[in-house]
Structure 1
Amino acid sequence: MGRAGRGRTVGALTVAGVLAGTALTGCGNGGDAAGHAQASSATGSSGAREQGTRAVRSAYDRTAEEDTARITLRVRTTAGGRTVAANGQGAVDLGDGDSVMTVTAQGQRIEQRVVDQVLYQRVPRGQAPDGRPWIRIDLRKAAAGQGAGAGSVSDPARSAAYAKAISDKDVTRKGTATIDGVETTHYRVAVDVADLPDGAALRRQVGPTLPMEVWLDEQGRIRRQQTDMTLRAAPSPSDRASAGASPSARRVTVRTVVDFTDFGTEVDAEAPPARQVADMTGKATEQGGTRG
C-alpha cells in the first residue's frame, strides 16, 4: 500500500477510534427520570443547573438502555492550514461498541466493521496489501502505540468518564433544537480534563477543560454529541524538513459530531474470514505516531 493509501488508513482509523466503541454502558450516575424535562423548562437558577447536570450525567445510561442505534459521524480535523473531513454512517451496538459503517474520507467510500475493538476495512481496488481485500487494525494496540493523551478522547468507549467529570458549574442549558425531526434540549458542557483517563497527559495537550455539547430528547437520550478539541501535536517530518519551518508543536483542532437515530436497529458486525485479512496494526501505529 502506498503512502497515500496509508494516509487514508490512518484517517479512517481516527473515525473508527471515535466510533469503536460508542459503548455507553455504565456511564452515568442514574439521575432522576424527571431531571431532563424539568431542566428543559427551568431558568438559570442553581436548582436548574443541578437538574441539567443530572440530565447530562444520566443521558449515557438512558441512551445505552436502547442497546443499539443508527449513527451518523462527522469528523473535521484542521492542522497546518489543511482541513480533512471524514463522514460515516451505519449502526452501532451501544453496549460493546461493535459497528458496521460506510466511511467517506478524502474522496473514497470505505466499508468498515468494528468487532471486539478491532477495525476491519475493505481496501479500495488496487490498494490491497498481499492481494487481500481487507485490512485489520487492533485499535487498542494502535492507541497504546501512539501514546496516552488526546487519542483517548477520540474513543467514546471512554465516554463513561465524561459523565463523571462534570459538576453543576460545568453544565449550561443553551436552548432547544430539532434534530432529525426530534425536539431536543441543548446543553454545553465543560469536561474537567483532570478527571478523565490519562488526565495529566490530556491537560498538557488540550488544557484544563474539554468543550462538549449534547442534545437530549424528551426521554433524556443523547441525540447528538459534539466534542471540540484543540491540541498541540508534534511537528511531522515534512514540517521539520521544510525550509524555515519551526520545530515547535503544531496546533490541531478536531471537531467530532455523532448523531444517534433509530434506536433498537439491528447491528450485524462480523469479522471477515481470516484468509482475506492483512494485519496493518503496526503500520497504522507508526503512521499515527509520525503524524502526532
Structure 2
Amino acid sequence: MTPVKAVAKAAASAGHITSLHYRVTGTVPEWGRLNAEASMHTAPMTMDMTMHATDGRYGGSRLEIRFVDGAMYVHRDVADSGKLKGASWLRAEPGTWGSDLFDNNSYGLLPRQLEGNPVVQSAMLTASKDVRRIGTETIDGVPATHYRGTVTSKGVRAARDAAPDKAARERQIDSLGQFSAMRLDGTLTMDLWVGDDNRTKRFRMRSDTYASKGGTVDQPLEIIDGEPLDMTVTFLDVNEPVTVEAPPADDTADLGELADELGTA
C-alpha cells in the first residue's frame, strides 16, 4: 500500500471514532511543557481533561476541565476558592471544545492547540503532497507504520477541493478550521503512526506559530512571531465506553452569577 493510501485509510477509519481516550505531551506556545490526558465522546461532543503545564497562566498547577451540554466546568485548583463560596467547580456558558477557530471557547483556560478535536487533527496528513513512509515502530506494544509529511493551509484547501466524496471533503473542511485555530505559521510537519488495523495510534505536529498583541485604542493589533509547537497525541482507547458528566450542581458556582454579584457589589 502506498503512503498516500495508508494515510487516507487511517483518516477514513478516524471518521468512525465515537469515543476516545488519549494522551498529549510536548511543548505548546505560551504554556511550555505539558502533559494531558483526556476522554471524549463525539455525539454529543463532550470532553474531560486533566492537564499539567510548566508555564501559562497557571504556572504548573493542575487543571481539570470538562465540556458538557454546551457548558465548561473547571476545577477550583485553578480558581479562587474564596470567590467560589466553597464550591469545587466553576461553570461557564457557552463553553465549546473540538470545533474551529470561530466556535471554540475555553475562556483561555486551554491552549488553543488543545481546544481542537484530536480525531480531526489526526487526519490532517491527508492534505500533504510529500507524505512518505519512515519505517515500522512499536507504540504502546503495538506495531505501527510511521509516516511523515508537510501540510500547509493551501494544501488543505486543495485537498478539500479535490476530495473524492462528501466524507473526505467534510474531513478537509474540519481540518482547515483546526489548522487555522492553531495559529500555525506556514508549514506543519506531521508524523503519523498507523497500526495494522489501519487506525491511527499516534500523531505528532511541529510548526512555527504566530501570535498577536495590541488591538486596543492605544496599541493597534500586531501579528508577531510565536513560540514553536511540538505536540504528540497518543490514542490509548478507541470506541470504548466514555462518560463525561457535569459536576454536582450543589458543588458548582456559576460564572455569570458571580459576575452579576461583583457588578452589583
User: Which TM class, normalised by the smaller chain length?
Assistant: 0.5 to 0.7
Contact 1:99 1:267 survives alignment (8 Å): no
Alignment partners' CA distance in 2, 1:96 and 1:273: 20
Aligned partner of 2:203: which letter? Q
Aligned partner of 1:113: which letter? R
- Whose helix fraction is larger, Structure 1's or Structure 2's? 1
Aligned partner of 1:197: which letter? L
Indicate how the Cα distance of structure 1 residues 151 and 127 shifts in structure 2: closer, same or farther if over 3 A, else same: closer
Displacement of 1:221 after TM fit?
0.6
From 35, 38, 62, the counterpart of 1:109: 62
Alignment partners' CA distance in 1, 2:193 and 2:29: 24
Alignment partners' CA distance in 2, 1:212 and 1:139: 26
From 225, 232, 235, the counterpart of 1:260: 235
CA distances 1:244-283 after superposition (whole Å, capped 9, x unpaired): xxx8723321222111123333211012245513338xx9
Alignment partners' CA distance in 2, 1:60 and 1:116: 27
Q: Aligned pair count?
A: 216
Alignment partners' CA distance in 2, 1:224 and 1:172: 16
Residue number in structure 2 paired with 1:171: 131
Contact 2:4 2:126 survives alignment (8 Å): no
Q: Which moved more, 1:66-75 or 1:178-187?
A: 66-75
Aligned partner of 1:252: which letter? E
Alignment partners' CA distance in 1, 2:12 and 2:79: 43
From 75, 78, 84, the counterpart of 1:130: 84
1:14-163 to structure 2, matched below 5 A, reads 38=1, 51-78=2-29, 84-94=32-42, 96-105=44-53, 106-116=59-69, 118-124=71-77, 127-128=80-81, 129-131=83-85, 132-137=87-92, 138-139=95-96, 143=104, 151=112, 155-156=116-117, 159=120, 162-163=123-124
Alignment partners' CA distance in 2, 1:198 and 1:91: 22
Displacement of 1:89 after TM fit?
1.7
Q: Percent identity?
A: 23
Aligned partner of 1:134: which letter? W
Contact 1:122 1:135 survives alignment (8 Å): yes
Displacement of 1:125 after TM fit?
7.8
Stretches of structure 2 lacking an aligned partner (at least 5 in a row): 54-58, 158-174, 260-265
Contact 1:57 1:163 survives alignment (8 Å): no
SS of the residue corresponding to residue 155 of structure 1 reads: coil
Alignment partners' CA distance in 2, 1:212 and 1:55: 15
Alignment partners' CA distance in 2, 1:271 and 1:90: 15
Indicate how the Cα distance of structure 1 residues 110 and 223 shifts in structure 2: closer, same or farther if over 3 A, else same: same
Aligned partner of 1:133: which letter? S
Contact 1:64 1:95 survives alignment (8 Å): no
The ranges of structure 1 where at least 4 consecutive aligned residues each deviate by more than 4 angstroms after the TM superposition are 94-97, 150-154, 160-165
SS of the residue corresponding to residue 12 of structure 2 reads: helix
Indicate how the Cα distance of structure 1 residues 154 and 263 shifts in structure 2: closer, same or farther if over 3 A, else same: closer
Displacement of 1:234 after TM fit?
2.0
1:180-219 to structure 2, matched below 5 A, reads 180-194=140-154, 195=157, 197=176, 202=180, 206-219=184-197
Alignment partners' CA distance in 2, 1:158 and 1:262: 12
Alignment partners' CA distance in 1, 2:112 and 2:71: 16
Aligned partner of 1:92: which letter? M
CA distances 1:151-203 after superposition (whole Å, capped 9, x unpaired): 58951268279458615x3311111111110111111122231225359x949
Indicate how the Cα distance of structure 1 residues 119 and 225 shifts in structure 2: closer, same or farther if over 3 A, else same: farther
TM-score by length of 2: 0.65
SS of the residue corresponding to residue 226 of structure 2 reads: strand
Displacement of 1:209 after TM fit?
2.9
Residue number in structure 1 paired with 2:164: none
Alignment partners' CA distance in 2, 1:262 and 1:198: 25
